């Protein structure tokens, strides 16, 4: 298009001068060529400047009673703070005096601009916006909308995370409807569009959509891998002023560079990934017949998990069998094609082993346990050799796929396969099915994160536990995309460190797909700070994107983003427990046998979480309290402090009433278990307690029958871990403090019904 050719010339001319950014007049020209609004202005070069003539010209040609005088200098980044921007009376004498002063103060000036003044309330929310766009390796071009003006950064930092700014990859906006939806979720646009109480509409939505689409078209054209020789790295308008029913750019920055021509990542085939998730045959390379090395631990774990021995193989020369599993001298000698070829050999041997596997044509999927290929300084050549081996293997078998390196392995409960290299005595492996949990997949870049999480939550038995490691071929988004198609899968847990180019966008798209199919996706994204990104780079040799951008995009796509490891574990517990429950609203019943716990729960009631109770329900609970002679000391209310005098039967009766009532979407029950009235110790000790006599079994069954969430809290020390484990075995998520339970449940409710 003609406009793009003209912009291309502006960038090329600036680049020929050794510049990586445009001047403000050049930015205005780009804006105008894009069909967007810039103020009327006149430019006066500093060389040979005649202040009197320039001032007279500006006063005569600009309208209004005021004018803006601006410095043009590539050496002054923040013109306003430096005194390079002045709003003046439109008088030749006043302009001349200010121009002479500015020329004296800034001898490095390249030019001066006299700019049309657009009247607006600079400090009123919504009248000055910040519209930005930037190139992002993980997401492609990304557009940002937030509050503008000189205090934009400070204001944004002061807001609650998630309020501002609003972010969207341009590749996810396909129509005006997408942009309208984006604006509907923008906090600052509510002020510009009159969507707040007492507000007035400053500009129409269509005016903003015009700017969003204009930025989108520019960023799509001037990008890496596009048709232009130049890529816009960052384009920011601040402020974008709402005046006279229009949006006009009052200042702008555009940074650019030569476009990169690298080819997009060659993704593994769907069939190759499917073989790694639905394995029918497995082989292990690196098994020692003399000692229990890593590969032999994997072999034993495969056998103990129950995977068929007749479809398990070892690739090793000179040995007939090890631990009852047949050995073959090479992959070419294997009796069938292998879905999962587990490689656990010293890293110098990896390129050879992979090349042999690819050349054999007998290997579909590799799980590369070996590390030291790209994540360690000086190992880049080894990583390149692995990539070459993958390319070579695909020429013979297009469905060849590699998971790893530096993978912990994969556990598949459906086919009873466990390739973790952790000894069973160190970790209870996630084998079997928890009948009270929704079918779950756990996909993690870090293997240690998976085993740490499972060690803390032994009730968690994912159908798929996939550790991806360095993502040298198959990436986390590749796995999640394939798992999103599993109809009976309800929850996908994701731990992500770094994105390969374009994979942030790929993950957002696949999360959208998963949510459209009714699945819940819980995500933790590491590499949030400069230090964190360095740590991620050291471990995975991957690209770590900006965390704020990632979080906002993933939340918009439909992920439940955890802010800490503890949040991830707790949100995972709720998702796995309640993904199949019907949560229609946030009105919740709260009960404890301790006043401080009841007060703590009451303090957490806000937003989606409410604690209302109708007189009819209260009257039914009163009957239970009266039956157990608690009515003289307890009133039925919400939250309810049932006191330490309440036995299990009374607690169970109240909980059953709450769960049966349509006014409650669920319940949070927190008990201090030290009371003698409750059965909180296991049967058989020097005490009369018996877990089977507690209220928990009946309450858990009532919650399942009502298809409502029931959260249990145990406000006591480690002596009561068996009590917690008993509740978890019944399918109840267990917290150790009620205030945290309410906080996490509130976040989960916002996700589910928000």
Q: Mean pLDDT of residues grouped by 10 in the chain (754 residues)?
A: 90 94 94 94 93 94 93 83 90 94 92 90 82 90 87 69 80 84 90 88 93 94 92 93 91 93 87 96 96 95 96 96 96 97 94 95 95 61 84 93 95 97 93 95 96 96 97 96 96 94 94 96 81 38 60 93 96 97 94 93 91 95 96 93 96 97 96 96 91 97 97 96 96 95 95 89
Q: Which of 235, 217, 238, 228 is nearest to 26 (CA)?
A: 235
545 plus 638 within the same structural domain: no
Query: What is d(CA 686, CA 706) in angstroms, rounded to the nearest whole number?
Result: 37
Contact 651, 695 (CB under 8 A): yes
Which tokens is 338 given? 């292998």
How many domains in the chain? 5
- Within a 10 A sphere around the Cβ of 26, how many other Cβ atoms? 19
Residue 528 domain-assigned?
Answer: yes
Q: Which residues contact 24 (CB under 8 A, 6 or more apart)?
A: 70, 72, 113, 251, 252
345 plus 486 within the same structural domain: no
DSSP structure string for 284-346:
EES--SSS--HHHHHHHHHHHHT--GGGEEEE-TT-SEETTEEEESSGGG-SS-BSEEEE-S-
- The parent domain of residue 476 ranges over 433-578
Instruction: Please say which residue of 578, 596, 626 terminates a domain.
Output: 578
Residue 95 domain-assigned?
Answer: yes
Report how far apart, in Å, the C-alpha atoms of 142 and of each of 134, 211, 416 are: 5, 14, 43
280 plus 235 within the same structural domain: no
Q: Which residues contact 601 (CB under 8 A, 6 or more apart)?
A: 590, 592, 611, 639, 668, 670, 738, 739, 741, 742
Residue 261: its pLDDT value, please? Answer: 84
CATH of the domain at 53: 3.30.1490.20
Residue 426 domain-assigned?
Answer: no
Contact 286, 367 (CB under 8 A): no
CATH of the domain at 605: 3.40.50.261
Helices 205-221/176-184 angle, 10° precision = 120
524 plus 396 within the same structural domain: no
Query: What is d(CA 660, CA 544) in angstroms, rounded to the nearest whole number?
Result: 48
**Pairing of β 230-243 and β 246-249:** antiparallel
253 plus 270 within the same structural domain: no
Residue 420 domain-assigned?
Answer: no
309 plus 193 within the same structural domain: no
531 plus 592 within the same structural domain: no
166-193 in b/e form (b: 16+ CB < 10 A) is bbbbbbbbeeeebbeebbeebbbbbbbb
Instruction: Please say which residue of 116, 149, 170 terminates a domain.
Output: 116
Query: What is d(CA 155, CA 124) in angstroms, rounded to the nearest whole number?
Result: 12
Residue 10 domain-assigned?
Answer: yes
593 plus 742 within the same structural domain: yes
Residue 525 domain-assigned?
Answer: yes
Query: What is d(CA 540, CA 563) in angstroms, rounded to the nearest whole number?
Result: 21
401 plus 285 within the same structural domain: yes
Residue 494 domain-assigned?
Answer: yes
Q: Which of 335, 333, 337, 354 is nearest to 286 (CA)?
A: 354
**What is the sign of the dihedral through the CA atoms of 324, 327, 332 and 338?**
positive
CATH of the domain at 206: 3.30.470.20
Exposed (0-12), middle (13-18) or buried (19+): which is 531, by Cβ within 10 Å? exposed
134 plus 239 within the same structural domain: yes
Instruction: Please say which residue of 92, 116, 140 terminates a domain.
Output: 116
Query: What is d(CA 594, CA 469) in angstroms, rounded to the nearest whole number?
Result: 46
pTM, full prediction: 0.91
List of long-range contacts for 294-300, beta carbons under 8 Å, 24+ apart:
294/344, 294/369, 294/421, 295/342, 295/344, 295/345, 295/369, 295/421, 296/322, 296/323, 297/421, 297/422, 297/423, 298/342, 298/344, 298/369, 298/409, 298/419, 298/420, 298/421, 299/323, 299/325
Contact 646, 671 (CB under 8 A): no
Q: Which residues contact 343 (CB under 8 A, 6 or more apart)?
A: 285, 286, 350, 353, 354, 357, 366, 367, 368, 369, 370, 404
**Backbone Cα Rg of the chain:** 32
Rounded to 5 degrees, what are φ and ψ at 559? -90, 150
Residue 541: its pLDDT value, please? Answer: 35
215 plus 156 within the same structural domain: yes
Residue 198: its pLDDT value, please? Answer: 81
524 plus 592 within the same structural domain: no
Report how far apart, in Å, the C-alpha atoms of 241 and of each of 192, 197, 237, 422 are: 10, 21, 9, 60
Residue 411 domain-assigned?
Answer: no
């Amino acid at each position: 298009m003609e406009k793009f050719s003209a912009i291309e010339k502006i960038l090329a001319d600036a680049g020929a001068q050794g510049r990586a950014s445009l001047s403000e007049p050049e930015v205005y020209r780009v804006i105008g060529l894009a069909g967007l609004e810039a103020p009327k202005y006149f430019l006066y070069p500093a060389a040979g400047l005649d202040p009197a003539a320039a001032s007279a010209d500006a006063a005569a040609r600009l309208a209004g009673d005021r004018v803006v005088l601006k410095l043009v200098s590539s050496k002054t980044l923040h013109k306003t703070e430096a005194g390079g921007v002045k709003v003046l009376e439109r008088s030749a004498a006043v302009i001349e005096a200010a121009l002479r002063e500015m020329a004296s103060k800034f001898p490095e000036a390249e030019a001066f601009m006299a700019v049309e003044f657009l009247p607006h309330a600079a400090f009123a929310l919504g009248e000055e916006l910040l519209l930005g766009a930037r190139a992002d390796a993980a997401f492609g071009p990304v557009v940002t909308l937030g509050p503008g003006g000189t205090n934009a950064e400070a204001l944004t930092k002061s807001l609650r995370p998630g309020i501002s700014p609003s972010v969207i990859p341009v590749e996810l906006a396909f129509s005006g409807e997408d942009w309208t939806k984006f604006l509907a979720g923008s906090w600052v646009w509510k002020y510009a569009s009159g969507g707040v109480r007492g507000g007035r509409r400053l500009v129409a939505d269509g005016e903003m959509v015009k700017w969003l689409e204009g930025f989108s078209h520019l960023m799509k054209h001037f990008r890496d891998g596009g048709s232009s020789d130049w890529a816009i790295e960052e384009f920011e308008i601040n402020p974008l002023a709402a005046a006279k029913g229009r949006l006009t750019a009052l200042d702008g920055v555009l940074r650019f560079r030569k476009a990169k021509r690298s080819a997009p990542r060659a993704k593994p085939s769907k069939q190759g990934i499917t073989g790694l998730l639905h394995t029918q045959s497995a082989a292990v390379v690196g098994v020692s017949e003399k000692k229990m090395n890593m590969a032999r631990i994997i072999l034993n774990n495969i056998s103990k998990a129950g995977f068929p021995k007749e479809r398990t193989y070892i690739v090793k020369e000179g040995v007939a069998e090890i631990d009852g599993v047949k050995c073959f001298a090479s992959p070419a000698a294997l009796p069938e094609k292998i879905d999962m070829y587990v490689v656990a050999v010293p890293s110098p041997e990896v390129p050879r082993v992979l090349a042999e596997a690819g050349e054999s044509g007998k290997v579909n999927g590799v799980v590369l346990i070996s590390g030291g290929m790209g994540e360690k300084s000086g190992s880049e050549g080894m990583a390149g050799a692995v990539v070459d081996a993958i390319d070579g293997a695909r020429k013979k078998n297009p469905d060849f796929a590699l998971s790893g390196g530096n993978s912990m392995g994969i556990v598949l409960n459906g086919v009873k396969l466990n390739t973790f290299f952790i000894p069973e005595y160190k970790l209870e492996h996630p084998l079997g099915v928890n009948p009270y949990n929704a079918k779950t997949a756990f996909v993690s870049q870090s293997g240690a994160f998976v085993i740490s999480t499972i060690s803390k939550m032994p009730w968690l038995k994912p159908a798929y536990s996939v550790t991806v490691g360095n993502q040298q071929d198959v990436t986390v988004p590749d796995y999640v995309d394939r798992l999103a198609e599993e109809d009976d899968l309800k929850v996908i847990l994701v731990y992500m460190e770094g994105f390969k180019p374009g994979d942030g966008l790929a993950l957002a798209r696949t999360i959208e797909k998963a949510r459209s199919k009714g699945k819940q996706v819980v995500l933790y994204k590491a590499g949030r700070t400069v230090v964190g990104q360095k740590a991620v780079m050291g471990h995975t040799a991957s690209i770590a994107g900006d965390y704020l951008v990632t979080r906002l995009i993933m939340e918009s796509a439909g992920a439940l983003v955890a802010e800490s490891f503890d949040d991830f574990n707790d949100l995972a517990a709720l998702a796995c427990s309640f993904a199949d429950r019907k949560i229609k609203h946030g009105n919740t019943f709260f009960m404890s046998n301790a006043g401080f716990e009841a007060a703590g729960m009451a303090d957490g009631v806000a937003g989606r979480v409410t604690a209302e109770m109708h007189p009819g329900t209260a009257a039914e609970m009163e009957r239970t309290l009266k039956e157990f002679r608690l009515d003289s000391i307890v009133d039925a209310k919400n939250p309810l402090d049932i006191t330490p005098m309440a036995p299990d039967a009374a607690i169970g009766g109240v909980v059953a009433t709450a769960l049966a009532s349509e006014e409650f979407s669920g319940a949070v029950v927190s008990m201090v278990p030290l009371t003698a009235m409750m059965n909180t110790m296991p049967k058989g000790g020097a005490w009369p307690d018996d877990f089977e006599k507690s209220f928990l079994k009946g309450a858990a069954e009532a919650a399942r029958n009502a298809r409502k969430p029931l959260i249990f809290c145990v406000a006591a020390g480690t002596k009561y871990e068996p009590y917690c484990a008993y509740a978890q075995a019944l399918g109840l998520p267990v917290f150790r403090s009620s205030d945290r339970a309410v906080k996490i449940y509130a976040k989960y409710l916002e996700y589910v019904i928000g």
